Structure 1
Amino acid sequence: MAQSAELRERLRAIVAERMSRDSAHDLAHLDRVWLNVQKIAPAEANQTVLLGAAYLHDLVNLPKDSPDRSKASRMAATEAGPILADLGLSESEVKATQHAIEAHSFSAGIPPETIEAQVLRDADRLDALGAIGVARTFAVAGALGQELYHPTDPFAETRDLNDIRFSVDHWRVKLLSLPKGMITENGRELAQARAALMIRFLDDFADEIGATVPKAWTS
């Protein structure tokens, strides 16, 4: 079995050839998820499983507007299996890594049943928050051709939220609620701090467009 540093480099080389040009799910995203994993994982977590899951969880990455989006994590887990076996992971480690990959996805709705799956899910969601979260939100909006916000009702006070059309709506629909769904204690603390940064940004954003962020968005 390769040492962690060697295994990481081998994993990075494999995914570098497969990753799309999606700036929200590129090699840099995988590096950040691995960094988040190291910040929140308890000592008893299997580092080999976490390393494999961190770098292979987006092996299949479908666009957010794809009708098959909810299947992407299962597809990634399936493709990851032979890669992990070739890298020398045991059968039990391969299965544990595949479960972590399957369960990390918000849209898949698969409960994370192991420590490693819980850590990966939190680590991946942390990358949707904070300064990187702000950048990723608008990068995705540009890629999908979304409007930044509704021109007359930016915070959906008199309309239904629509995060397919308006990027800022996605903050209310999903992003600002992520801290409440964190499983690990360290993940929750980091998520709360990063969400607070996003709310400060949102206050400035609102001021520049002549609006005010409703309390419902920040409570």
Structure 2
Amino acid sequence: MHSFHFTPFQSLAAALIPNLLQTTDGSHDHSHLLRVWNNAKAIHAGEGGNLELLCAAVLLHDCILVPKDSPQRNQASQLAADKAIHILQTLHWPADHIAIVASAIRTHSYSAGLTPTSIEGRILQDADRLDAIGFTGIARCFYTAGRMNSQLYHADDPTASSRPLDDRSFALDHFPQKLLKLAINFTTATGQALAISRAQTLQSFYEGMLAEITTS
């Protein structure tokens, strides 16, 4: 990943990129950061906020990764925020700017269940969630399911009508368990508007797949 992708903050990106994980998780790799940055810029154009702080938050929001099937998953954003504080301190950033970035990272994760307190935090959360829905979200869902050795769906009850949803075992369960709920929880008006078409894509795919697998 090149720093020029983060224009006009190339020098900041150049300083932060060496601190990023070299991960084999294709759903949280450098291309994910670029997509979240593009989402964040689109939302920032409508909502305002400090774009430089937002750039730092985007670059560092996944600087610590905890696997989806780990019992510590809900701690991932806190661990990433703690590491971000250390990294930005070494760059001699002002304490108040570091606090905003760290708070944005701490509250961005769905699994953390926290509400952002700054506009930068709200934008980061919405930008990250946009990447979890739509066509990209579908691709990431099934990619992650494959990494976790999950099945595509429960053969006897794909809609979970008589069993608890279990998205660690069945990829399709991740749609009603999480993905189909994401679009109603955006915290910026711009992010919510961008989410509408992606949410419709998710719903169409889910209904279409159910139609295919339940046809007798």
Relative to the length of structure 2, the TM-score reads 0.90
In the alignment, structure 1 residue 37 sits paired with structure 2 residue 45 = no
Q: Does the Cα contact within 8 Å between 1:76 and 1:101 map onto a contact in 2?
A: yes
Count of aligned residue pairs for this structure pair: 209
Percent identity between matched residues is 39
Q: How do 1:2-81 residues align onto structure 2 when only pairs under 5 Å count? A: 4-15=9-20, 18-41=21-44, 42=46, 44-81=48-85
Spell out, residue by residue over 1:80-133, the C-alpha distance to the aligned partner (whole angstroms, 9 max, x if none). 112223345322111110000001011212221010011101111111000100
Spell out, residue by residue over 1:160-200, the C-alpha distance to the aligned partner (whole angstroms, 9 max, x if none). 21112111111001110111110001111111210101222
Spell out, residue by residue over 1:20-63, the C-alpha distance to the aligned partner (whole angstroms, 9 max, x if none). 11111111111111111011124530111100110101111101
Tell me the equivalent position of 2:4.
none
Q: Does the Cα contact within 8 Å between 2:175 and 2:206 map onto a contact in 1?
A: no
Q: Does the Cα contact within 8 Å between 2:145 and 2:168 map onto a contact in 1?
A: no
Q: Does the Cα contact within 8 Å between 2:151 and 2:169 map onto a contact in 1?
A: yes
**Structure 1 runs of 4+ off > 4 angstroms?**
none
Classify 1:209/1:114 alpha carbon distance in 2 versus 1 (closer, same or farther; 3 Å): same
Q: d(CA) in 1 for partners of 2:109 and 2:117?
A: 13
Spell out, residue by residue over 1:63-86, the C-alpha distance to the aligned partner (whole angstroms, 9 max, x if none). 111111111111111111122233
Q: Does the Cα contact within 8 Å between 2:54 and 2:101 map onto a contact in 1?
A: yes
Q: d(CA) in 2 for partners of 1:28 and 1:107?
A: 22
Tell me the equivalent position of 1:94.
98
The Cα RMSD (Å) is 1.9
Q: Which runs of 5+ in 2 are unaligned?
A: 1-6
Q: d(CA) in 1 for partners of 2:164 and 2:71?
A: 22
Query: 1:117 is matched by which residue type in structure 2?
Result: G
Query: 1:6 is matched by which residue type in structure 2?
Result: S
Moved more, 194-203 or 47-56: 194-203
Relative to the length of structure 1, the TM-score reads 0.89
Q: Which runs of 5+ in 1 are unaligned?
A: 213-219
Q: d(CA) in 1 for partners of 2:8 and 2:30?
A: 21
Tell me the equivalent position of 1:199.
203
Query: 1:38 is matched by which residue type in structure 2?
Result: K
Q: d(CA) in 1 for partners of 2:153 and 2:200?
A: 20
Moved more, 181-190 or 35-44: 35-44
